[in-house]
Chain A
Amino acid sequence: MRRYFFRKLLVYGLTFFVAVTVNWMIPRFMPGDPVAGMVARANVTQPQAVAAMRAYYTELFGFDRPLWQQYVNFWGAMLRGDFGLSIWLFPTPVSTVIGNAVPYTLALVVPSVLLSWVVGNWFGAYAARRRALDNTVLPVGYILTATPYMWLAVLLAWGLGVVAGWFPVAGGYSFALQPTWSATFLLNLVHHWTLPFLSLFLVALGGWAIGMRNMIIYELESDYANYLSALGAPARLIRRYAFRNAVLPQITGLALQLGVIVAGALVTEIVFAYPGLGSLILKAIQNQDFFLLQGTFLFIVLGVLIANFIIDIVYVVVDPRTRAGMAGANA
């Protein structure tokens, strides 16, 4: 088991290292002069101002120092939590801007991921080998997984928001309210949260249901299931064993799907102008705010790595074989 965690942590550590290095490399090795690009974007015409900006940006990136030192400095600044200043919300530090957005994204992603996983698995397991139900769950599931996240979000916003008028379609809370811990404000938060949550939940649901259905069918055809039914075990019992075995690949699948789900959350937030990381990315791109974009990137990678590690721990808890050290080798 120690070996299992050691390997996992090694991969995550290397991944983080690669992500930081990519983040450091891209502005430095992209074609053209990044400083010139940033100065040009500022639309300054006075020669003194241009010179001052050049000096400022060169100093900021540390372009005048040797490459290895730039790299070490980059890590140093990052470990101190210094991601630079946001250009869009100048002069707010990027870490503060991200810190304000993260709770919204987490509040959206965590419940929708967990609920869609649980409900999807339940649906899929229930539908498997029940012909009438299977014939409806399967097509609906395929349509849902094939739906682009933002399209379902747009449809929900239009149908339930604009046409029916049941839900607000923009923002994290009404602009008339001040963020407080009052009941009115919390209710307002939930009201704004419902549609983005629902759209994330629905798209993810289809994939889990299909995955679980296929796994259950596979498990019901396996030797132990046949043996149990030959012994005359009740179907309920066999299905319960099949479910336990089928859940394991679904846990691995959850880890593999995290990137896709996070991507879905980003575009869903953009549709609803929900004040999370997705909206930050949109603003960063629109305002050419590269520090903010890079900071958000690192934050997302870090979040996905932590979530992966949590899933690994859950896997060990759920699957006794990893604890015995059998499955560690091919993890």
Chain B
Amino acid sequence: MTALQEAAPRPREGVRREALYFAVRNGKLLTGFGVVAVLLLAGLMGPLLTDVPPNQYGPRPMSPPSAEHWFGTTTFGQDVFTQFVHGLRSTFLVGAIGGGVAAVIGMFVGFVAGYRGGLVDEILSMLTNIVLVIPALAVLLIINAYLGLRSVALQGLFIGLTQWPWAARAIRAQTFSLRSREFVDLARMSGSGTLRIISREVAPNMSSYLFMTFILLFGGSILIASSLDFIGLGPTDAVSLGLMLQNATQWSALQLGMWWWFVPPGAAITAVVGALYVANVGLDEVFNPKLREL
């Protein structure tokens, strides 16, 4: 046993170093995370640069992009750039909360169902399948309309509550394949509890998979949130990119040709989600030796 424990840390460190070696050489990963980092920085720093509240009416409505208003102004003279950077913040926040909540529930359900098996698995899988089939946006519409949830955090929470099933299914399948491996048997024989085996033996061996699942949930949450905002159930305490799109179409930006109002928010959502997807493919190549391009 002692020899095993001494030998154990070295390969793990080796794996990490190897992953890092391929990570910094992977174009997809770097581009993806680079785009996300730039937009995240814009969301974090942008609001600090402009001290104007995002919804404040200005004196020069409907003006195209200029040196003073980088992204132009809305029908009400609001500065589109200010709204844009504030909106980016909400987008990242909703993605982090929604993706985080969904990942935690999905991991819990997936690990327990996959590791325990039997009746527990039957019940949890049934629950997963039920939530999976119900169209998420329809449920969120009803909940939001009745409860009047109008903060970014609560929106993210409820999105997370509807997004977890596919993650749970995927994690369950992975856990299922790991649970009969020798090292898990060894841990079980040495008397470790379920929780300890899951957190020490099962989860670390699929950590890359879990991280990639979180990234996909993050992107999915952003897309769902933007749809909700667009239908008119967006946050009232903040600006979001979906809300900007909603306002632009509601106040006929299309017919008036005010492209600077509706192009940036949609482009930003596409860029964030698309970059996350591409980064995910890059991560897959880093962690999965079969896919590496040398």
Q: A31-B147, A142-B277 are in contact. Are A151 and B245 (CB under 8 A)?
A: yes
CB-based contact A267/B227 at 8 Å: yes
A158→B138 contact, CB < 8 A: no
Q: Which residues of B contact A305 (CB under 8 A)?
A: 133
* Main SS at interface, chain B: helix
Which size bracket describes the interface of B in this complex? 35 or more
B135 adjacent to A259 (CB under 8 Å): yes
**Contact code string B135-159 (vs A, CB < 8 Å = 1, else 0):** 1111101110111000000000000
Assess whether A282 is in contact with B245, with CB atoms less than 8 Å apart.
no
Within the complex, the shortest CB–CB distance from B264 to chain A, in Å, comes to 10
Report if A293 contacts B (CB, 8 A). yes
**Contact, CB under 8 Å: B266 / A142:** no
Q: Decide yes or no whether A18 CB sits under 8 A from chain B.
A: yes
A128 within 8 A of B: no
Task: Assess the A151–B135 pair: CB atoms within 8 A.
Answer: no
In whole angstroms, how far apart are the Cα atoms of A12 and B146 in the complex? 25
Question: Is B132 in the interface zone, CB < 8 Å from A?
Answer: yes
A259's partner among B136, B249, B265, B273 (CB-CB below 8 A) is B136
The answer to whether B290 touches A149 (Cβ under 8 A) is no
Chain A residues with CB under 8 Å of B224's CB are 263
Across the A-B interface, the 5 shortest Cβ-Cβ residue pairs: A151-B266, A146-B274, A259-B135, A263-B137, A146-B273
Q: 16 A-B pairs, CB-CB below 8 angstroms?
A: A14-B126, A142-B278, A145-B274, A147-B274, A148-B242, A151-B267, A163-B257, A169-B255, A259-B133, A263-B135, A263-B136, A263-B227, A266-B137, A270-B231, A271-B249, A293-B142
Known: A11-B133, A148-B245, A158-B254. 14 other contacts (CB 8 A): A26-B143, A142-B278, A146-B276, A151-B245, A158-B259, A162-B254, A169-B255, A262-B138, A282-B231, A290-B146, A293-B141, A293-B142, A301-B135, A304-B134
Residues of A that sit less than 8 Å from B by CB? 11-12, 14-15, 18-19, 22-23, 26-27, 30-31, 139, 142-143, 145-152, 154-155, 157-158, 161-163, 169, 221, 256, 258-260, 262-264, 266-267, 270-271, 281-282, 284-286, 290, 293-294, 296-297, 300-301, 304-305, 308
